[in-house]
């Protein structure tokens, strides 16, 4: 099963360019940090009360991006809120992205191509080798948008993450998103931990836009 961070990057992947949708680097980093925290919660490694994130177990999971985040939480000597941890981990967004992309490469979903300009400058692009996983993630979101049933918590969280990051309107047409706006807002309220993660992402986004640094 893919991690939330992997699913999020796949949704953000632009197969025509072999790159990722421009939602803003800091927003991307916050989303990946929130995705990792949600996976750690589902795996029983962390929990939360009203004020703080709580370490339940420091046992590694075997997923590089999750173990990277878990090790930092385990090493922290001061209690922090979910918002604090989204901020801390987002500040290491390059590492989160690289670890997540490496897992998608290892799974054979993406490949890395060195693209050169004028034989001097180069960058990496990531053509999609296997589209099945992205199609499956997008279909899960489509299903819950078009249904009035209570969704699976995993599906609900990835939808909420896509909405809070601005990715939802990049993946689906603006008309579809606006048509199901009420349903989306309803779904955002269902999961307390996921709601806290997404509120943290939103708060940090607003702080960045206003020029006020998020404190940890």
Q: Note the pLDDT of residue 120.
A: 64
- pLDDT, tens digit, 9 for 90 and up, residues 55-83: 999 999 999 999 999 999 999 989 999 98
For the stretch 119-167, pLDDT in tens is 666 788 899 889 999 999 999 999 999 988 989 989 999 999 998 888 9
What count of other Cβ atoms lies within 10 Å of the Cβ of residue 79?
Answer: 12
Tell me the average pLDDT across 82-89. Answer: 91
Average pLDDT of the chain, as a whole number: 88
Query: What gap in Å lies between CA 119 and CA 134, rounded to an integer?
Result: 33
CA 197 to CA 127: how far, in whole Å? Answer: 30
**Element housing 53 (H / E):** strand 53-55
Query: Between these two residues, 72 and 203, which has the higher pLDDT value?
Result: 72
**Residue 128 near residue 13 (C-beta atoms within 8 A):** yes
Q: How many CB atoms lie within 10 A of CB 4?
A: 26
pLDDT at residue 189 tops 80: yes
Is pLDDT of 209 > 80?
no
* Structural domain boundaries in the chain: 4-210
Inter-residue contact 128 to 110 (CB < 8 Å): yes
pTM of the model as a whole: 0.89
Domain 4-210 fold is: yeast vps74-n-term truncation variant fold (1.10.3630)
């Amino acid at each position: 099963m893919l991690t939330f961070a992997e699913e999020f990057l796949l949704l953000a992947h632009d197969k025509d360019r072999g790159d990722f949708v421009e939602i803003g680097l800091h927003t991307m980093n916050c989303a990946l940090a929130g995705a990792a925290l949600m996976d750690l919660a589902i795996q029983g490694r962390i929990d939360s009360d009203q004020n703080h994130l709580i370490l339940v177990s420091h046992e590694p999971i075997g997923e590089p991006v999750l173990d990277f985040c878990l090790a930092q939480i385990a090493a922290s000597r001061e209690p922090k809120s979910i918002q604090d941890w989204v901020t801390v981990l987002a500040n290491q967004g390059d590492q989160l992205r690289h670890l997540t992309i490496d897992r998608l490469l290892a799974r054979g979903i993406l490949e890395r191509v060195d693209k050169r300009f004028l034989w001097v400058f180069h960058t990496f692009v990531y053509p999609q080798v296997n589209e099945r996983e992205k199609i499956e993630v997008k279909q899960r979101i489509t299903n819950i948008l078009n249904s009035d049933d209570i969704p699976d918590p995993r599906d609900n969280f990835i939808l909420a993450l896509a909405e809070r990051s601005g990715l939802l309107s990049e993946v689906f047409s603006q008309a579809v998103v606006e048509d199901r706006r009420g349903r989306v807002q309803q779904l955002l309220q269902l999961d307390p931990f996921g709601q806290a993660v997404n509120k943290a992402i939103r708060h940090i986004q607003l702080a960045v836009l206003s020029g006020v640094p998020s404190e940890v």
